[in-house]
A and B are shown apart, each in its own frame.
Chain A
Amino acid sequence: MAIDTVPPLVAAQLNYLISHCPFSVKVEQMWSGCKNPSLLDRFTLVIPYCLDYIKWDVIYNAMYPLAAPDVIFGPEDESFQPFYGGNEKSRKNSLADWNSKDPARLLSLIIELRDAYIAYQRRRIEEVDDDRLKFEISTMLSREGIEMYMTSCTDKPEEVKFAVPLLDMGLNKLVAGSTWRHPQKIYLQVVFPVGKKHSTPPPPRLKLISSAELKALFSIEDFRLPPWLDGMCTAEYLPTLEEMLESQIKDAVSSVEMRRKFITALVPLFGRPIEADPVFCRRATFLASSGVFTFLVHFSLSLQFPKQQAGLTLQSSQHFNSNGMPVKSPNLSEYPWSPRWEPSEMADRIFDFLADECLNFKKYCNQLNQQ
């Protein structure tokens, strides 16, 4: 059985695309289009667009990997014809003088096509006969990086989606030592129903969406969107929203500092942590003992720390259940806590509480083992 291989020239371009692309591109599937089915020369790229994904098939030719690839767009984008129109200069595209030896070529092609796709969707939406939409576009377009998309399903009413990037404040720099690879962003999704004539147009559907990794710092699920007033437009709505978001993100960043201070305050009592989250300070684990009974103390700190007290679980390092897993206590919450205390006092109280609680836990472990 032959092992599936990607022709080296194609593999070089694909790897370069995946590791260097400013947005996160994924390969959904790879398959072969030649007589020898172990040479994989075509694949589906999943490309983020307007808080959703578009799927494009890239068709190489394993028999002739020096040739430029071909691209098949999604079934709903049949009228998308990049590299058409414009003057002679804009017609010069990255497919025109293809160099298969240059691994960056596929990346520049995909970026070029995605830019063309943004322009294409915008052109389509500008043609929609809807007064409010026309007004929204004219007032919103001074902002950079807005993406829009029009759904054109036959069974659903038509909608125009906007993805508005919020807060041009460089979220990646806010937290010292973060290892985020892609730029972190928060977007407001605004969905306008179009096509039907209303005397008073219904308010748009609003949703806040953030890049996945940002959840370690700030949870947009906990954010309450300000109300949308009648007759409002997005350009009016955005400044209030951004102001609120900015202050909450600042709180989130200062919460990281609070958590760090708390973990540091635990050190004189428990010793150095075995494991701790050094960037967002959401977790820390200490080794503790009472006589010969040794156990681990897991602290989990929520984004609302210190308003929300630290989650506390104990894990024995000597007792195991029938599956061979170490015995753990349920989450302990009945311990003295006040968000107004200094971190050192929080740590003192927890240490005192655990001095008694660990005996109960030891008893619990022994009982479990006797059964």
Chain B
Amino acid sequence: MDDFPIDKIQISGATLASLLHRSSSSAGDLHGYLFGHATVSTPNPLSDHPTATTTTSLLAVTITSFLSLPSHLPLPPPPSPTNSAALLGWFSSRRKTPLRPSLKDTTTARSLTSLASRAFTPQNSTLSLSPSIFLLVTTPFQDQLIHTHEYKAFQFKVNAFEPKSLNIVNIGPSFRSQYESFSPNVQFPMMDFELRGSNAMVEDEQGESLADRKKQLRDQKQLDTCAEGFDVGRLSKLMGSEAAYTGELEDLYDKMLAKIDGLSKLVEQTNAKVLEQENHNMRLRCRVAGLE
């Protein structure tokens, strides 16, 4: 199961930058999970050369997000796979160490890949992959101004780390295919176009409206996770040919931005609290360790 070779590991520039920033701003070493998705593609060799007829499929994984915590804390039990992001593997970031997997890295990789329940299936395939990606981030032994980080990606295969190249996805024409294959993963409620005015309304109004009401509540809840105070009923105005389309759409975007804004404020506040607590913990730890 875990022996299927990965041909390409990709990470978006923004995710890598965020990971490196998190590593360099932390007080000590970090580790955490990597999330993303995998795709199997069959490249179409556009070549006249007769030998270029191999149609092996390529397995590419893309890291889109991560979760980090100080490495003295054990990794939490891996989260269950969701539709949007599968658990691809994990990373370890430690300052001024050789760019080689350590004893702990080996042990962690082994236990993570042996968890059959965490296996995921790439899009358009029937393969089953275990979270076998390992990204190692270190810093050079001598402090340098420009070269501040080093990283290396591995796939843990047959109980050994196999080095893999890491492609960084950025903006530009050469990454066009990346964006073309992008699929949004925000879950919107189903928008059903209602045929009004038919006599369907008349029959069994009582029972139907109860079911309707339930569905509407559920949809509203789902919509509330993306937008701030946008009535689910208005979604139907986005369908069909009603004139208010542009206005409604702009309003929806505004509400979505408001939601993101509200969320980021919340994150900011909680982060400040976490930082305060972390600083307090660090003082206590220093006292326990006799560093004061």
Give the B-binding residues of A (Cβ under 8 A).
5, 7-9, 31-35, 39, 42, 57, 59, 61-67, 70-73, 75, 78-79, 81-84, 95, 113
Q: How large is the interface on B (under 10, 10 to 19, 20 to 34, 35 or more residues)?
A: 20 to 34
Main secondary structure of the interface of B (DSSP, over half): loop
> Does the CB pair B104–A64 fall under 8 Å?
no
B84-127 to A contact mask, C-beta < 8 Å, 1/0? 00000000001111101111111100100000000000000000
Pick the interface stretch among B171-179, B190-198, B282-290: B282-290
Q: CA A341 – CA B290 in complex, angstroms?
A: 67
B159 at the A/B interface (Cβ < 8 Å)? yes
B248 at the A/B interface (Cβ < 8 Å)? no
Q: CA A64 – CA B94 in complex, angstroms?
A: 14
Q: What 7 A-B pairs come out closest when comparing CB atoms?
A: A64-B72, A63-B28, A67-B72, A8-B290, A33-B95, A70-B104, A72-B102
> Does the CB pair A84–B96 fall under 8 Å?
no
Given A70-B104, A79-B160, A34 contacting B95 (CB threshold 8 A): yes
Identify which of B27, B100, B289 contacts A75 (C-beta below 8 A).
B100
B230 at the A/B interface (Cβ < 8 Å)? no
What are the residues of chain A within 8 A of B288 when measuring CB–CB? Answer: 66
Q: CA A70 – CA B74 in complex, angstroms?
A: 13
> Does the CB pair A70–B103 fall under 8 Å?
yes
Nearest CB on B from A204, distance (A): 31
- 17 A-B residue pairs with Cβ-Cβ distance under 8 Å, sorted by A, are A7-B291, A31-B141, A32-B96, A35-B27, A42-B96, A57-B98, A59-B94, A61-B71, A63-B28, A64-B289, A65-B289, A70-B102, A72-B100, A75-B98, A78-B160, A79-B160, A83-B103
Q: Which residue of A lies closest to B143 (CB)?
A: A37
> Does the CB pair B28–A34 fall under 8 Å?
yes
> Does the CB pair B28–A82 fall under 8 Å?
no
B150-173 to A contact mask, C-beta < 8 Å, 1/0? 000000000111000000000000
Those of B229-287 within 8 Å (CB) of chain A: 282, 285
What are the residues of chain B within 8 A of A82 when measuring CB–CB? Answer: 103
What are the residues of chain B within 8 A of A59 when measuring CB–CB? Answer: 29, 94, 97, 102
Nearest CB on A from B282, distance (A): 7
What are the residues of chain A within 8 A of B291 when measuring CB–CB? Answer: 5, 7-8, 39, 62
Q: Which residue of B lies closest to A83 (CB)?
A: B107
What are the residues of chain B within 8 A of A8 when measuring CB–CB? Answer: 289-291
What total of A-B pairs shows CB separation below 8 Å?
A: 90
What are the residues of chain B within 8 A of A70 when measuring CB–CB? Answer: 94, 102-105
Q: Which residue of B lies closest to A79 (CB)?
A: B160
Q: Among the interface residues B98, B110, B160, which one has the most CB atoms of the partner chain A within 10 A?
A: B98
Given A34-B28, A42-B96, A63-B70, A7 contacting B290 (CB threshold 8 A): yes
Beyond A57-B98, A70-B103, A72-B102, 20 extra complex contacts between A and B, CB < 8 Å: A7-B290, A8-B291, A31-B96, A32-B95, A33-B29, A33-B94, A33-B95, A33-B97, A34-B28, A59-B97, A62-B291, A63-B70, A64-B289, A66-B72, A70-B102, A72-B100, A72-B101, A78-B101, A83-B103, A83-B107
> Does the CB pair B70–A81 fall under 8 Å?
no
B23-55 to A contact mask, C-beta < 8 Å, 1/0? 000011100000000000000000000000000
Q: CA A75 – CA B152 in complex, angstroms?
A: 15
Nearest CB on A from B126, distance (A): 31
Nearest CB on B from A176, distance (A): 44
Given A33-B29, A34-B27, A63-B282, A78 contacting B161 (CB threshold 8 A): yes
Given A31-B141, A61-B28, A73 contacting B103 (CB threshold 8 A): yes
What are the residues of chain B within 8 A of A84 when measuring CB–CB? Answer: 106-107, 110, 159
> Does the CB pair A9–B289 fall under 8 Å?
yes
Q: CA A34 – CA B96 in complex, angstroms?
A: 9
Q: CA A170 – CA B27 in complex, angstroms?
A: 51
Q: CA A34 – CA B104 in complex, angstroms?
A: 19
Q: CA A73 – CA B288 in complex, angstroms?
A: 30
What are the residues of chain A within 8 A of B282 when measuring CB–CB? Answer: 63
Q: Which residue of B lies closest to A81 (CB)?
A: B106
Those of B53-79 within 8 Å (CB) of chain A: 70-72
What are the residues of chain A within 8 A of B28 when measuring CB–CB? Answer: 33-35, 61-64
What are the residues of chain A within 8 A of B159 when measuring CB–CB? Answer: 81, 84
Q: CA A5 – CA B96 in complex, angstroms?
A: 17
Nearest CB on A from B136, distance (A): 11
Nearest CB on B from A119, distance (A): 15
Nearest CB on A from B20, distance (A): 15
Q: CA A168 – CA B140 in complex, angstroms?
A: 47
> Does the CB pair A9–B290 fall under 8 Å?
yes
Q: Among the interface residues A42, A61, A70, A79, which one has the most CB atoms of the partner chain B within 10 A?
A: A70
What are the residues of chain B within 8 A of A67 when measuring CB–CB? Answer: 72
What are the residues of chain B within 8 A of A81 when measuring CB–CB? Answer: 106, 159
Q: CA A220 – CA B101 in complex, angstroms?
A: 41
Given A31-B141, A33-B95, A34-B95, A61 contacting B103 (CB threshold 8 A): no
Given A82-B103, A83-B107, A84-B159, A72 contacting B289 (CB threshold 8 A): no
Q: Among the interface residues B102, B103, B104, B105, which one has the most CB atoms of the partner chain A within 10 A?
A: B103
> Does the CB pair A71–B103 fall under 8 Å?
yes
